[in-house]
Structure 1
């Protein structure tokens, strides 16, 4: 093939070839020439890329004042996304709450009433959602996307007043462009000290939290979207010494990852699976001692976990000191250093993100 033969190919053939590339390469090729930029930013290409490009979920590990640092396990590379600049957000005024279908959901900080903002950092689009119907104080946030309809829903449970014991659940439907009232509840297990992230699995939102009035410790809660009802599943935690528990979804399995603390030291870091037929946590693996000894994590500091496909990402307060666990072969491997953002060798607990993210050129806000 001659040197210029590539440029003589029909545009639809070029689109087909480019559609199999990972998103990081697509952005690099946009800089090659005006012709390629025109092709790679066209609506037809973005639809084709969405249909043909193999799934490539990232892990959002930590953030700084100007970027979100994401790790791509398929190519073992870091990407530092200038999300706040691309989506016209002030990093000091927003807090990342949820992620689904290539979209990120932020909440405003230091405002009288909460406002949610949804953005797609790849397409540089964002949308400020309308004010919620009744909720003024947020306790739970969850997000789910539907690729078939290119739509999403956001679940919020909270209260209308800081002193009330009545929780309200509302759902934002992007197809309708408005909030829908779902239910009220006076269940004590819905009152928390902090905001909780809910994850989606087969028609239900799940979250793990320690209610204000619960003496039993962490509770596994489930919201039935169809029945519009919250339930405390009354699942016994696998250990009373559990710390920093994280709920994960991996290949349709509901997992729990956490550290076990005894006598002010970390005894182990374990992974459990919830057996739905008996609602019991069953341990499936434990971090090897030689790996645990290299983490150097004080017992009181945060351990953040997130899951996607067969992988679980463990992150500590040292954002660069993270590792992956592969469920398929039960292997552990360290993430490489994020050399492009080397200033974050040590970060605060509030900089940890701990969310899976699947880049999308087609997801709309």
Structure 2
């Protein structure tokens, strides 16, 4: 058996057979591979690069449902970026932008970046094609939080949240508008304590009083949702998975430390525990938590002093998988991890 297997692996593909392989069928087959793998094929030769960059191939890819998200991360100084493909269980180092930036939000196949300092510049990018667009400046020059939504026609909106006011960028009109006042119940610096998640046209934020605040970008309506935060929990953050609102946090219970996942049920926002994992190495240490999710996968980044750990939770299989850290150099305890999850897509246009 081993001998026949070896012969199969070293068998030479006959050019007289494969050179006649129909090109339209080739596109159809290639489009069913993970997008990250397809992008790597651009380096094979100029012909493959032209094929993958063609409009017809992009249309094939748009017809194929991509089940796995990608996680885009930056570490410490924002010159160090890495993208994790959970399907291949591999890190990539894409050099997506021509300047230093970190991800703040995402929707569909687009990632929203903040670049330079003092919260002054924003851009939207497709990490797969490396196409990006710098957004014009709006009325709000300094902001606290940002969010992004995308509708079915691939148009997107960006929410810029200041201390007292907010505004919306619309990709259709290509300008900022809807300058409005933030409701009194969520006004003030530090009221919002987590990055945003988006479901359809609605953005969700975690409030410092352990409530969830939402904003509908299509209707302009703000809503505050009361939740009963779990006892002995801390570091609560929001994540999204298959259109469901997930709450992830650190739980101290019976002299043990866990990373715990809850689902906020629709309408009532009642919390239902999904799963938990013991953190033996982090016992009796303050733990910082960042979590992002998409398509049934949650990536949890844990940090305590100079200890880092990344784990992925698969909601469908209820599996916890340790992710090897991508660091190529020494990690300093002051390094921050910023991450977002996006759906790889060749046709998403910023």
Which TM-score band applies after superposition, normalised by the shorter structure? 0.7 to 0.9
In structure 2, do the counterparts of structure 1 residues 128 and 187 end up closer, same or farther at CA, with 3 Å as the change threshold? same
Deviation for aligned residue 1:56: 2.4
Contact 1:203 1:225 in 2 (8 A): yes
RMSD: 2.7
Residues 272, 284 of structure 1: 8 Å contact kept: yes
> Gaps (5+ residues) in structure 2?
1-12
Cα distance in 1 between the residues matched to 2:41 and 2:308: 28
CA offsets, 1:172-203, max 9 Å, x none? 11122111215313515232337742211244
**Runs of 5+ consecutive residues of structure 1 not aligned to the other structure:** 160-166, 211-216
Aligned position for 1:259:
250
Work out the CA distance in 2 between the residues paired with 1:246 and 1:44: 40
* Residues 33, 225 of structure 1: alpha-carbon distance in 2 compared, 3 angstrom cutoff: closer
Q: Determine which of 331, 335, 354 is the counterpart of 2:323.
A: 335
TM-score, normalised with respect to structure 1: 0.81
SS of equivalent residue, structure 1 residue 30 = helix
Within the candidate set 157, 165, 172, 2:169 is matched to 172
Q: Superposition pairs for residues 153-232 of structure 1, below 5 Å?
A: 153-159=157-163, 167-181=164-178, 183-193=180-190, 196-210=194-208, 217-232=209-224
Report deviation, 1:106. 1.6
**2:121 counterpart of 1:115:** yes
Contact 2:69/2:294 (8 A) holds in 1: yes
- 1:362 correspondence with 2:347: yes
- Distance change >3 Å, CA 28–CA 170, structure 1 → 2: same
Q: Distance in 2 between matches of 1:77 and 1:254?
A: 27
Residue 26 of structure 1 aligns to a residue whose secondary structure is helix
1:209-255 per-position Cα deviation (integer Å, ceiling 9, x unaligned): 32xxxxxx33311113343122222323222x322211111122211
TM-score, length-scaled by structure 2: 0.84
Check the 8 A contact 1:139/1:196 in 2, yes or no: no
Shift of 1:364: 0.9
1:124 to 1:253, Cα distance in 2 relative to 1, 3 A:
closer
Q: Which runs of 4+ in 1 moved over 4 A?
A: 347-350
Q: For residues 252-300 of structure 1, what are the alpha-carbon distances to aligned partners after superposition, in whole Å with 9 as ceiling and x for unaligned?
A: 221101002489x86332111212343322222221x3xx11x436633
Tell me if structure 2 keeps the 8 A contact 1:11–1:39. Answer: no
Answering whether residue 274 of structure 2 is matched by residue 284 of structure 1, we say yes
Q: Which residue number corresponds to residue 154 of structure 2?
A: 150
Distance (Å, rounded) in 2 between the aligned partners of 1:186 and 1:258: 27
CA–CA distance in structure 2, aligned partners of residues 182 and 228 of structure 1: 10
